[in-house]
Chain A
Amino acid sequence: DQQVKQNSPSLSVQEGRISILNCDYTNSMFDYFLWYKKYPAEGPTFLISISSIKDKNEDGRFTVFLNKSAKHLSLHIVPSQPGDSAVYFCAASRSNNAGNMLTFGGGTRLMVKP
């Protein structure tokens, strides 16, 4: 049973517009959420995170929103740039789990067209 789901396998956006990537989770014990970005032939790199005590975290062009009641988070990229084209993974963690283990979603491939 997938505890973290990204229901859109791909997303295409025009350069300069907003990209919105969505993620849903089922485990109410998750209290920390992260987004990773992955280019082909490279490992994922950390992008932005949010704790469950917040509902929004912003870092430059990237903003993550958390809706705990809906068990939903989203990543907004504004404005989108061609270099943002990559696979984005949502991940979730419980603060009391051994090893800080992350559970990942299936990923969304974002394509930003010039």
Chain B
Amino acid sequence: DVKVTQSSRYLVKRTGEKVFLECVQDMDHENMFWYRQDPGLGLRLIYFSYDVKMKEKGDIPEGYSVSREKKERFSLILESASTNQTSMYLCASSSVGTYYGYTFGSGTRLTVV
């Protein structure tokens, strides 16, 4: 069964902490994405990557950075967590040239206190 695995289901962090959210996929997909889901706002793209060491800003990159050192792993970094970054974070992957959309992970519910 193909998978996108997010390392934590729930996280509680303090304001100002550096936070790492990890995502691993086992489908050899080229593309990987980080979204956040907030009520009424749907899924908003933070960053995406279409190749190792490549990254592109999405719609709301401020306060975030990413790292993709290996094809299967895409990390989201909150440099200095703030309360407005409390959200559900969803990682996804997809294969170039297919239109079956994304495969999503189960999400990480991050609370910043």
Residues of A within 8 A of B33 (CB): 99, 101
CB distance from B41 to the nearest CB of A (A): 6
Residues of A within 8 A of B101 (CB): 34, 36, 46, 49, 91, 100, 102
Check A100/B43 contact, CB under 8 A, given A43-B90, A43-B104: no
Which residue of B31, B40, B98, B104 contacts A9 across the interface (Cβ within 8 Å)?
B40
Residues of B within 8 A of A107 (CB): 42-43
User: Does B52 make an interface contact (CB < 8 A)?
Assistant: no
User: Does B48 make an interface contact (CB < 8 A)?
Assistant: yes
The answer to whether B43 touches A89 (Cβ under 8 A) is: yes
How many residues of chain A have a CB within 8 Å of chain B?
A: 27
The answer to whether B94 touches A100 (Cβ under 8 A) is: yes
User: Does B96 make an interface contact (CB < 8 A)?
Assistant: yes
A interface secondary structure, majority: mixed
CB distance from B68 to the nearest CB of A (A): 12
Residues of B within 8 A of A34 (CB): 101
CB distance from A25 to the nearest CB of B (A): 13
The answer to whether A100 touches B96 (Cβ under 8 A) is: yes
Residues of A within 8 A of B90 (CB): 43-44
CB contacts under 8 Å to B, within A88-106, are 89, 91, 93, 95, 98-106
User: Does B112 make an interface contact (CB < 8 A)?
Assistant: no
User: Does A51 make an interface contact (CB < 8 A)?
Assistant: yes
The answer to whether B48 touches A44 (Cβ under 8 A) is: no
Q: List 7 A-B contacts (CB under 8 A).
A: A36-B101, A41-B106, A42-B106, A45-B104, A100-B31, A100-B96, A104-B42
